[in-house]
Amino acid sequence: MRFDLQIIASWIEPQSTVLDLGCGSGELLSYLKQEKQVRGTGIEISEEKITACIEKGVQVLQGDITEEVADYPDQAFDYVILSQTLQQVYEPDKLIKELLRVGRRIIVSFPNFCHWAIRLQILFHGYAPKNRQLPYEWYDTPNIRVITIHDFRRFVKATNCKLMKEAAINTHNHDIQGHLVHFLPNLRATFGIFMVTKGAETTIHS
């Protein structure tokens, strides 16, 4: 399982309900079902990945994230997960607001556009950044939003949300392995992961 998903899985309480947006082949949900008796649902657009989810016994709906989320009643899930998708969303603020409506807590992960290698690429080469986490050219990238760890923290504050957990990570070996970054995360981490709620719960920094 991808390292960012391993971190996310460790944040989920047993026997909770989870909505995983862009759940792919259902790896995280399958793990949570087996290890934490979580009742999960995935949303996925690809027919092929839907088939992989069903094979794992993961409940999944084919559709567009924004449209599918709208059908759920308020606070239908304990957690809503949006992993490595926020940078591809057209209206992130509206989506996050909607996710906070259907989920008590939301967990968001995204590639950190302020990693030092990206900064150096722009500084020395002058091209739009391209690396293992962001392997696209400017003209074919699905990543239409430039987000950094600092940006997201500021967003949480500005929207009066509560930051419950935060992790900055560096990944290697096809993103399957990695480590937490504690020192200068916005410069040194390839991904940021945040747990956010709109309630008045206590803020915890990990």
Partner 1 sequence: MTIEHKDKNSVGLVQKQFFTFATETPLRLESGASLGPITVCYETMGTLNAEGTNAILITHAFSGDSHVAGYYSEEDPKPGWWNIMVGPGKPIDTAKYFVICSNILGGCTGTTGPASINPATNEPYGLNFPVVTIGDMVRTQKRLLDHLGIRRLLTVIGGSVGGMQVLEWAMRYPDMMASAIPLATTTRHSALAIAFNEIGRQAIMSDPNFNKGDYYGKNKPDLGLALARMIGHVTYLSDHAMREKFGRRLQNRKTLAFDFEANFQVESYLRYQGSKFTQRFDANSFLYITKAADYYDVKHQHGNGSEIEAFAKVKARMLVISFTSDWLYPTYQSREMVKAMKKNRLNVSFCEIEAKCGHDAFIVSNERQSSLIRNFIECVAAEELHHAF
- Give me the least distance between CB of 179 and partner 1, in Å please: 35
CB of 112 to partner 1, least distance (A): 33
For partner 1, which is the closer residue by CB, 47 or 137?
47
125 to 12, 23, 101, 118, 120: CA distances (angstroms)? 41, 35, 43, 10, 8
Give whichever of 61 and 128 is closer to partner 1, judged by the CB atom: 61
Instruction: Provide the sign of the torsion angle of the four alpha carbons 191, 137, 44, 33, taken in this order.
Output: negative
Find the binding residues for partner 1 in span 123-182 (CB under 8 A): none
Subset of residues 51 to 80 that bind partner 1, contact rule: CB under 8 A? 51, 53-55, 57, 59-63, 71-73, 76
**Which residue lies nearer to partner 1 by CB, 39 or 162?**
39
Q: Alpha helices, DSSP H only, in 56-195?
A: 65-70, 92-102, 116-120, 149-158, 185-188
What the block records as the tokens of 136 is: 């696209």
| DSSP H/E element including 59 | none
Question: Nearer Cβ to partner 1, position 62 or 121?
Answer: 62
Residues in Cβ contact with 191 at an 8 Å cutoff, skipping those fewer than 6 apart: 4, 84, 109, 110, 111, 112, 133, 168, 169, 170, 171
Q: Three-class SS of residue 203?
A: coil
Q: State the nearest-atom distance from the C-beta of 28 to partner 1, in Å.
A: 16
If the CB atoms of residues 74 and 137 are measured against partner 1, the closer one turns out to be 74
59 Rama class: left (phi>0) / alpha (psi -120 to 50) / beta: beta
40 phi-psi bin (left φ>0, alpha ψ -120 to 50, beta other): beta
Query: Site for partner 1 (CB under 8 A): how many residues?
Result: 16
CB nearer to partner 1: give 72 or 155: 72
186, two tokens? 């916005």
**Shortest approach of partner 1 to residue 105 CB, angstroms?**
18
Interface of this chain with partner 1, residues 26 to 55, rule: CB under 8 A: 47, 50-51, 53-55
CB of 38: closest distance to partner 1 in angstroms? 13
Residue 180 beta carbon to partner 1: minimum distance, rounded to whole angstroms: 35
Please give the residue ranges that form the binding site for partner 1 (CB under 8 A): 47, 50-51, 53-55, 57, 59-63, 71-73, 76
